[in-house]
Amino acid sequence: MWAVVINPVAGEGKGARSGARVCALLNREQMRYEIIAGTNALSTSQRLATFLKQNSEISGVISVGGDGLVHLVLQQLANTQIPFLIIPAGTGNDFARSLGWLVNEQDSEESLVMNALSNTPRTIDLGLVDSEWFGAILSTGFDSVVNERANTLNWPRGPMKYNVAMAQEIIKFRPRRYKITLEDRVIDTQAMLIAIGNGRSYGGGMKVCPNADLHDGLFDIMILKPVSTFEFLRVFPTVYKGTHINHRAVEVFRSRKIKIEADAIAYADGERVGSLPIVAECVPKSGLTWIR
C-alpha cells in the first residue's frame, strides 16, 4: 500500500496535475494506494499519521508538491525506514535537486514512479534541529530576513516574491554577531548569512552548500562574512553555480553538530524554525528514499 500525499496548490496547481498522473501510473501498474490531501498542513500531517498507524504493510510514501510538503512528510517518516519518493511539483524543489532528480520534464512522473517500483531505496542523512527534521538547508541571516518579508507579501506569487522581498531588505540589512559552536571549535564572528547544509541547495537552485553530501554524516556549514551591498549583489549570481565559496568573505566548515547563538531567526527547508539559539545535528541514515 502506497500513500500519495498531494499538495494540490503547489506550483500554482502543478501539484494537482502531477498527483493525478501519479495515481494514473499506480493504477496502470495495479498498485494499491491511498490519496492523502488535507485542507492545510496540519490536517495533511494528521491524515498521514493516521495512515501510517492504520497500515502495517506500507510500500512507501509519495510526496507530490514542493519542499514544504517534503518537510511535512519527513516529520512523520524520519527514522522509520519507510521509504519516500519525491515528485517535485513546487516552486523550489531543492530537496529533489539534492537527491539528483532534475526538476523539469526530463524526470517525468513516470520515470520517477517506475524507478521507485523497480529499484531499492537508499538511506540518506537528515538534519535535526530542536526536534524538527530537515532534508536540505538550515539557515539564518539575510535569507531568513527575506523569508520573513516574503511571507508578508500577497504579490507577486511564485519565485518572484523572494526577489521582491530581497530588494526590500538588502538596503537596510546589517550583519549580526554570531557565536557558532562546532565539534572542534567555537567561532565568534559577524556574518551576513549562515547556511547549514545536509543537501546542496535552497531558494530554487541556489547551491549555497555545493559540496554537501547526503551520505557522509556531516553538515557543510557556509559562513558569509560582512561585505558591502554592492559586493553582495555582484557575487550573488555565483551562488547558482556554487562558486561563491571561493570568495574571500566565505568560510566553509564541516561538523556533525552545531549550535548557533544570536539575535536572529532560522529557517529549515523554507519553513520557519524560530528564534536562535538553535542546536542542529546531522543524523546518519535516518531517511530512506530513491536517489538518481
Angle (CA) 14 134 257, round 5°: 160
Q: What is the mean pLDDT of residues 175-187?
A: 97
pLDDT band at 158 (very low <50, low <70, confident <90, very high): low
227-241 per-position pLDDT tens digit: 999 999 999 899 999
Where are the domains positioned within the chain? Answer: 2-119, 134-289
| Model confidence at 1: pLDDT above 90 | yes
List, in order, residues 6 or more apart from 278 with CB less than 8 Å away: 129, 130, 138, 140, 259, 260, 266
pTM exceeding 0.85: yes
SS3 233: helix
Q: Check if 2-119 and 134-289 are the same fold.
A: no
**Fold that domain 2-119 belongs to in CATH:** Rossmann fold (3.40.50)
CATH placement of domain 134-289: 2.60.200.40
